A and B are shown apart, each in its own frame.
Chain A
């Protein structure tokens, strides 16, 4: 059948062409305004799913970065505390050596004993250090101070016991990565060979020996002190090794944080590649579509104005 060209057909065709042109323009405008090429799943289901995965990845990674930050603070706090413990222990050692060398009289012995007692008190305070209201060296038993002291009538520490545990709560810093941000008090302050229950008992022993003017004669004091020194050395070694381990972990954790940060940048770039619009291309496309719409409108205007009425009558 020969196709008759009717007015209805011409109008409809022009109308469809022009409204399709406008629709395409509107879609493009929407994308440009939004800045995203994939703003809903139906735009491209596979890319939308990838965008969702990347968003989740970014969201999680941000949390890991925050967790690592907290881990680093905690590691720093533990390391600083243990470093101070180590410094104090060196002082105690010099005090003990000074007390052991030469001949002491009662007065000087009391002074040495008091010096050691002060160090003991300071170390006790450090052992109960809190970071953000939580004891640092108590393991997971954080409901109370990890170390408690028995005191005599004069208020001097006679023994210290550990109420914490050996479990340190690991911080989640990656899908399968955990950071142990400190050491337990049991690990840090104990005599590894176990001659004394812990650091504090060793110091109590040392202080009491020096102070015990009646029990230990001045000339026997050196031997008594030297008997305690190996324990002191072992504990100092244990503290130093903890400082070393925490320091190394601190270094690793800082580089982990850098990794997480660059992963963040990487994920954001990937997300942008996945769902964002190439603006330059979009603007070019906009111009192209505008041109074709204008052409369609011009053609429609020409054709719809052409009919026999212009020539007849």
Chain B
């Protein structure tokens, strides 16, 4: 009696197919769920009375739709997408910190400082205008400090985020390792652990957003994951990655607790944080520092050799120090270019008002700070020495004052020494973090050195200062301050818009791939409903068939009675 068995098998197969459809429908909105499809096969046939009879149907397999190649492509594009996004986030943040174009950004602050200098030309000994220069110089310095601080903070956040990312990679690696074990166990007990495999694929997808992966799926469905030159997940324990900085200050990944050169991943958020987004931020930090140095150099060089309405000095201490007072001054670590030449020391007798001007010839490529101190010390009514900080202190005898002004028409300092040492300096500090208006000027704005000759109504030093700020600086690759800064603003703008454009086209690509994958592996309710009808019908038919068999059996039994 084959019929009963055939009917039973048909009912069972339809029931199982309905179960599978039910599961598909239930998971229509589940992330990463891949549609399963029953694969029915006819049951082994039976040879009877010289004929071969089919014996019904069995569920041969549950097919899980997927395409390994598509998965791999999608993962690598996801890596690139999140790399670009992480880079874009950082670049946009840097752009936001600059806050240009505006009336409150660095360009405007620098402009206001230049304007304050220009205003004083109209009234060189007006205390309100002098105070305005000190004030706007201070605002400019604080703007530099704020930029440096915000960019430092951005870089700190970036590093923190990178460490989190690596921690997340490690924790996903461990989860994947556990899943591998579960999959292997389930396989050995015979099942196709579709849910585990779905989870594995979701995990691989999420992991690829953090870092670019090489994935190999073994025969037993366990995954082997290679990141850079490290086997993150394999048969044994998962490796843990760590970030470190190499000697060049570059960030690298390597196995935690081990030495080695480390590696840079080829994609993912990790690369975005280590390179794509770091480069514009690093560049900007360096350029803001360069700009601050360019400003300090340009201003101090001219300011040092002038004198303000407060008059000449009885004592000056250099704002900057050298590393070795015995070494040639050029190797002392001072800002700006130093050249052989001369500068003037002007000594005024307070009683008679008589000025004695002496040209000091100095070669900073050969002579040292000590040499300079000795040369100055040899002047009448002036004493000079190298102080305990390796700076220079100059003072005049009582009844005398001194400054570095010269007769009009004579170049005041062709060596650059006065400005580089920060004698009568306007700005102190060496970069954007440390730039400030000198304490002496803050205490006495009358020291704003408007005059190059010593006459309090003169503004020749101011006009020189204004010209210096508007002309190209060797420290800034020949650009003037405003042009240099504007170039960096434009540069970050280009970087952001380029990353945006790349990110947009990458998103389109990822969307297209995801659409393909969804189309291949997703659940279509229409399809499932049709299948539902099909197996329902099949189930109904099988029931009907069993009824018929039942009836025929009944009839046979009734015949026998």
| Segment from B139-147, B230-238, B513-521 that makes contact with A | B513-521
Contact string against A for B residues 399-411, beta-carbon threshold 8 Å, 1 for contact and 0 otherwise: 0000000001000
Query: B100, A52: Cβ atoms under 8 Å?
Result: yes
Query: A4, B520: Cβ atoms under 8 Å?
Result: yes
Q: Which 5 A-B pairs have the closest CB atoms?
A: A41-B493, A142-B457, A6-B522, A45-B493, A42-B496
B511 at the interface (CB under 8 A from A): yes
Could you tell me which residues of chain B, from 388 to 422, have a CB within 8 Å of some CB in chain A? 408
Query: A169, B101: Cβ atoms under 8 Å?
Result: no
Q: Which of B29, B100, B103, B522 contacts A4 (CB 8 A)?
A: B522
Query: B107, A12: Cβ atoms under 8 Å?
Result: no
A48 at the interface (CB under 8 A from B): yes
A and B contact pairs by CB, cutoff 8 A, 6 listed: A41-B494, A41-B496, A62-B115, A64-B118, A140-B453, A167-B455
Q: Which of B124, B126, B495, B523 contacts A7 (CB 8 A)?
A: B523
B463 at the interface (CB under 8 A from A): yes
B119: chain A residues at CB < 8 Å are: 63, 66-67
Min distance, Cβ A53 to any Cβ of chain B, angstroms: 7
A197: chain B residues at CB < 8 Å are: none
| Segment from B42-50, B342-350, B526-534 that makes contact with A | B526-534
Query: B526, A307: Cβ atoms under 8 Å?
Result: yes
A132 at the interface (CB under 8 A from B): yes
Query: B28, A45: Cβ atoms under 8 Å?
Result: no
A139 at the interface (CB under 8 A from B): yes
| Segment from B90-98, B294-302, B368-376 that makes contact with A | B90-98
B495: chain A residues at CB < 8 Å are: 42
Interface residues on B, range: 35 or more
B529: chain A residues at CB < 8 Å are: 307-309, 312
B357 at the interface (CB under 8 A from A): no
Query: B456, A143: Cβ atoms under 8 Å?
Result: yes
Q: Which of A45, A71, A275 contacts B122 (CB 8 A)?
A: A71
Min distance, Cβ B409 to any Cβ of chain A, angstroms: 11
Q: Which of B103, B466, B520 contacts A172 (CB 8 A)?
A: B466
A41: chain B residues at CB < 8 Å are: 95, 98, 100-101, 489-490, 492-494, 496
Interfacial residues, chain A to chain B (CB-CB below 8 A): 1, 3-9, 12-13, 16, 38, 40-46, 48-49, 51-53, 55-56, 59-60, 62-64, 66-67, 70-71, 74, 132-135, 138-143, 165, 167, 169-172, 175, 178, 181, 275, 307-309, 312
- Chain A CB count within 10 A is highest, among B124, B458, B500, for B458
Min distance, Cβ A40 to any Cβ of chain B, angstroms: 6
Query: B122, A70: Cβ atoms under 8 Å?
Result: yes
A169 CA / B459 CA spacing, docked (Å): 6
Min distance, Cβ B508 to any Cβ of chain A, angstroms: 10
B486 at the interface (CB under 8 A from A): yes
B525 at the interface (CB under 8 A from A): yes
Query: A7, B28: Cβ atoms under 8 Å?
Result: yes
Min distance, Cβ A177 to any Cβ of chain B, angstroms: 11
A45-B491, A142-B457, A172-B118 given; name 16 further pairs at CB < 8 Å.
Answer: A5-B524, A6-B523, A8-B29, A40-B493, A45-B490, A45-B493, A46-B490, A49-B489, A56-B111, A56-B482, A59-B115, A140-B457, A142-B124, A142-B455, A308-B525, A308-B529
Query: A59, B108: Cβ atoms under 8 Å?
Result: yes
B383 at the interface (CB under 8 A from A): no
Contact string against A for B residues 432-469, beta-carbon threshold 8 Å, 1 for contact and 0 otherwise: 00000000000000000001010111111001001000
Query: A4, B525: Cβ atoms under 8 Å?
Result: no
Could you tell me which residues of chain B, from 102 to 149, have a CB within 8 Å of some CB in chain A? 103, 107-108, 111-112, 114-115, 118-119, 121-126
Query: B457, A132: Cβ atoms under 8 Å?
Result: no
**CB contact under 8 A between A38 and B101, given known A4-B524, A7-B523, A142-B456:** yes
A48: chain B residues at CB < 8 Å are: 100-101, 489-490, 493
Q: Which residue of chain B has its CB nearest to the CB of A71? A: B122
Q: Which of A43, A275, A309 contacts B525 (CB 8 A)?
A: A309
**CB contact under 8 A between A51 and B519, given known A141-B455, A142-B456:** no
Q: Which of B100, B124, B487, B518 contacts A8 (CB 8 A)?
A: B518
Q: Which residue of chain A has its CB nearest to the CB of B117? A: A172
Query: A6, B457: Cβ atoms under 8 Å?
Result: no
**CB contact under 8 A between A40 and B95, given known A48-B490, A52-B101:** yes
Q: Which of B101, B487, B492 contacts A55 (CB 8 A)?
A: B101
Query: A9, B515: Cβ atoms under 8 Å?
Result: yes
